[in-house]
């Protein structure tokens, strides 16, 4: 039996809570062992998911669910902005400005309950996510190439 399951049993968690505890542990492990490049792609993937869920909730008038997802999306954008080192590359300042804009738009979309504004943010984020995924693949391929040669 895994220690996560044992801990869940010890805490008296039912089946659903036990599965949730195991999922949380798996996610914690995945984040703790991910490369910086992979962490960025994970953040973008979750940002897109939050934007989709937020817009869907806004579309059906579920302000509470939309708020939850859009607040999480805002936190992700702030994390991306905080980890950015714009002085290290030519496009850095522009990306920092874009993150500021995205955060402002997410706040406005959340306050107004506007699914179109949320969708517009998602439209801006999609190509960024794809670019980071492509960069991650290039880094991974380059690392694998070095491993084979070395």
Output the six-digit token pair for 148. Answer: 């084979």
The domain ranges of the chain are: 1-33, 35-149
CATH architecture for residues 35-149:
Up-down Bundle (1.20)
Q: pLDDT tens digits, residue range 99-124?
A: 999 999 999 999 999 999 999 999 99
Q: pLDDT tens digits, residue range 32-59?
A: 666 878 899 999 999 999 999 999 999 9
CB atoms within 10 A of CB 101: 13
Whether the per-residue pLDDT at 94 is higher than 80: the answer is yes
Q: In this structure, is the dihedral angle defined by the CA atoms of residues 49, 53, 59 and 64, taken in order, positive or negative? A: negative
User: Is the pTM higher than 0.85?
Assistant: no
């Amino acid at each position: 039996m895994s220690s996560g399951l044992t801990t869940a049993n010890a805490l008296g968690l039912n089946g659903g809570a036990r599965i949730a505890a195991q999922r949380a542990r798996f996610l914690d492990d995945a984040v703790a062992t991910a490369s910086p490049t992979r962490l960025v792609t994970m953040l973008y993937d979750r940002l897109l998911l939050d934007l989709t869920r937020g817009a869907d909730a806004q579309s059906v008038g579920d302000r509470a669910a939309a708020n939850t997802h859009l607040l999480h999306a805002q936190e992700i954008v702030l994390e991306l902005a905080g980890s950015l080192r714009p002085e290290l590359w030519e496009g850095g300042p522009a990306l920092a400005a874009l993150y500021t804009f995205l955060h402002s738009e997410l706040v406005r979309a959340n306050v107004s309950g506007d699914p179109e504004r949320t969708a517009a943010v998602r439209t801006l984020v999609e190509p960024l996510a794809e670019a980071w995924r492509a960069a991650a693949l290039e880094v991974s391929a380059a690392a694998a190439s070095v491993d084979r040669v070395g």
